[in-house]
Copies of this chain bind each other. A is one copy, B any other.
Amino acid sequence: MRWLAAATLLSIVVPASAQDAGTLVSSALAKTTSYETLSWLTDEIGPRPSGSANAARAVEWTAGQFRAWGIDVRTEKVVVPHWVRGEERASLVSHRDQKIVLTALGGSVATPAAGITADVVEVSSYDELKQLGAKVRGRIVYYNNPMDPELVKSGRAFEAYSRAVIYRGSGASRAAEYGAVAVVIRSVASASLRTPHTGAMRYDPKHPKIPAAAMTTEDADLVHRLLARGDRVQMHMLLTPKTLPDVESANVVAEIRGSEKPDEIVLIGGHLDSWDLGTGAIDDGSGVAMVMDAMRIIRESGLRPKRTIRAVLFMNEENGLNGGRAYFAAHKNDKHVAAIETDAGAALPTGFRTTLKGDALDALTARTKVLDGLGANRFEHTAETGADTSFLIENGTVGFSLVPDPLHYFDYHHTAADTLDKIDARELQQDTAAILALTWLLAN
């Protein structure tokens, strides 16, 4: 339902709101409060995988913070999967049991208790897999798809990621179709110190479920070299993850009601859940911290937006998107003027991606001068501005997503190294300020 055209939205961005936005930005930059919030989420709560006790604690703590700040807040039920990692180890039995460092992909089934030992066959595309066909029967299929380092260096890390990551999601079922017994992918990574990158995979119900894991780029290179040399490579792998019964969890929804058009909503969101390996500082503790801190600053400013600003801390972005789906199911008839998602780390802000384009986009950028001083004034048109808000966007809401400098994002993404120390408190605060400014302008 495209209930509000972009032009209508923008016609009411007025100079007075720009002045207030400036005031709010100044407040935001005065301290490093976002980092304090993030520090609690990562240091005191820790990893927050869907269904875990820590995820529940994160719901409780963030809701409590909103409440303590005098902001209306509620939790909204989301049923989430509960996948837990177990042991994971591998070695090359063909090469003196040289250790292979890998990690199970989220959602993978376990190997048999004694593990799987099989020959490794390398492919770099589904075309190659198809050509091999029945030759992969009984084998471990290895998808060797690096992120393009040139794209990463030129500021297009997300594009490099998108190209490489497809084998993570669907690689297991595609290989199972031809009789493979397991798959290993090359970690989708822009840096590695023997660091495996996990991430979600899904099974196609038409094919057998086979275990799936990601090797570090170092191990991926090793297996590649050995195969290229003509060696027969036999790998033993043991994975013991489990899928436990679904868990009732929640989105956290906080609101500052609009003074003039309370039914019109500007949504800002990030996600509460993280992968289990690290503490989810960049993915997406920092987004949560930006959203929470932006709400706090508005509340404490005494300023009242004309439209309602609604913060949503989504649950289960990583392995199901059930939070985004549940939110949409409950709120699809709410009048969402815009949805700003922040789930791309916390380096210096560069701007926003948006579903707006052409005149509507020009009209917006003419009114967002306050972003210039933050270096966050680059707007780029895109069809997709985030996973959790994708249901809203498909339904006609104007979408935005914050774009922090992506250079190092995939160094840490989905790894044990996604920890607080990767974030600079001042840079995070500039992200908060950018989100805050855009939110305020859109809400007024």
Task: Tell me whether A243 is interfacial, beta carbon within 8 Å.
Answer: no
Known contacts A39-B225, A43-B222, A225-B43; A416/B96 CB under 8 A: no
Is A249 among interface residues, defined by CB-CB distance under 8 A? Answer: no
Question: How far is the CB of A189 from the nearest CB of chain B, in Å?
Answer: 9
* Residues of the B chain whose Cβ atoms lie less than 8 Å from the Cβ of A63: none
| Interface bits A7-42 vs B (CB < 8 Å: 1, else 0) | 000000000000000000000000000000001000
* CB closest residue in chain B, given A221: B421
The answer to whether A46 touches B95 (Cβ under 8 A) is: yes
Q: What chain B residues lie within 8 Å of A417 (beta carbons)?
A: 192-195, 218
Interface residues of A in 43-90 (CB under 8 A from B): 43-47, 53-54, 57
Instruction: Tell me if A409 is interfacial: C-beta within 8 Å of chain B.
Output: no
Give the chain B neighbours of A279 by CB distance below 8 A: 98
Residues of B within 8 Å of A225, CB to CB, are: 39, 43, 420
User: Interface extent on A, as a size class?
Assistant: 35 or more
Whether the Cβ atoms of A101 and B416 lie closer than 8 Å is: yes
Q: Would you list which residues of chain A between 114 and 154 have a CB under 8 Å from chain B?
A: none
Asked whether A421 lies within 8 Å of B193 as measured between CB atoms, the reply is no
Q: Is A217 an interface residue (CB 8 A)?
A: yes
Q: Among B43, B96, B226, B278, point to the contact of A194 (Cβ < 8 A).
A: B278
Give the chain B neighbours of A319 by CB distance below 8 A. Answer: none
Interface residues as binary, A405-418 with B (CB distance below 8 Å gives 1, 0 otherwise): 00000011001110
Contact of A420 among B222, B412, B416, B419 (CB under 8 A): B222
Complex formed: what's the CA distance from A39 to B229 in Å? Answer: 11
The complex places the Cα of A222 from the Cα of B415 at a distance, in Å, of 16
Please, how many angstroms separate the alpha-carbon atoms of A217 and B422 in the complex?
11
Complex Cα distance, B232 from A205, in Å, reads 49
A219 to chain B, nearest CB (A): 8
Shortest CB–CB separation between residue A331 and chain B, in angstroms? 32
Contact A421 B218 (CB under 8 A): yes
In the complex, the chain B residue whose C-beta lies closest to that of A217 is B421
- Please tell me which one of the listed residues B47, B221, B411 contacts residue A193 in the complex, with CB atoms under 8 A apart: B411
Considering the complex of A and B, which 8 residue pairs feature the smallest CB-CB distances, nearest first? A193-B417, A194-B416, A193-B193, A193-B195, A46-B98, A194-B417, A218-B419, A221-B421
Residue of B nearest to A42 (CB): B222
Interface membership of A93, Cβ < 8 A: no
**Which A189-213 residues sit within 8 Å CB-CB of chain B?**
191-195
